[in-house]
Structure 1
Amino acid sequence: MQTIKNATKKIENVSYSITLTEHSKTRASQRGINEEVIQLALCYGKEIFKQGLVFIAVQSKALPETISGKLRKKLNNLVLVLAGDSDSIITCYKNNHSIKYINRKINYLA
């Protein structure tokens, strides 16, 4: 597992480091998602807790204007899936209707 340096997410004044699983490194590489994009997604994405996982979905309207157009395009509709019991990214993908899709999932897996 690879630890992303300086990728911290503050939740109630608690910081933690995020690690990438081998699967997420492979998928990120295939999809052209680099560490900078992942760090920004962790900062500006919307957290959704479903099925014992944490989905972080990024929409362009939630991004500040200071982010460049090229980077904004990479971030738009990006979804990171984090393990609910650890600080590791399981996978990442892009989906145009990500929040709607995630919200339709059942709350818990059997």
Structure 2
Amino acid sequence: MIVLIIIAAIPISFNSLVNWLGKSELYAFAEDKNYCRTESCEEGIAYVTELLHKQSGIDAKDVPWCMATNRIYYTDLYSLNGLKVKFTNWMYETCERHELTLDDANIEIGDHQHDEPDH
């Protein structure tokens, strides 16, 4: 019974880990570009997510997954790189194209009105 519970929990845990990793990538970018107005930077993360969504056409809910996939893809795992590439290629299928990078969001930077005060 415990083995079944563990097996059932793996996909849920993996999805949570990937989304956490993607949000950390988005947070770092938002913080670097001074889009954070609060410590949690939820507004900055939402703004960067929206930029990536508009630029790439990837569903906004999938942006963190795609950012995490990209980070995993470029992480050197030494002897596991072959397996990692096959696994991330499967993960990229959700992204509707091979990869999504923060450079996609940079296209809009400078042409945004995000720095204006909220009304």
TM-score (norm 2): 0.31
Structure (1 or 2) with the greater helix fraction: 2
Q: Based on CA coordinates, which of the two structures has the bigger radius of gyration?
A: 2
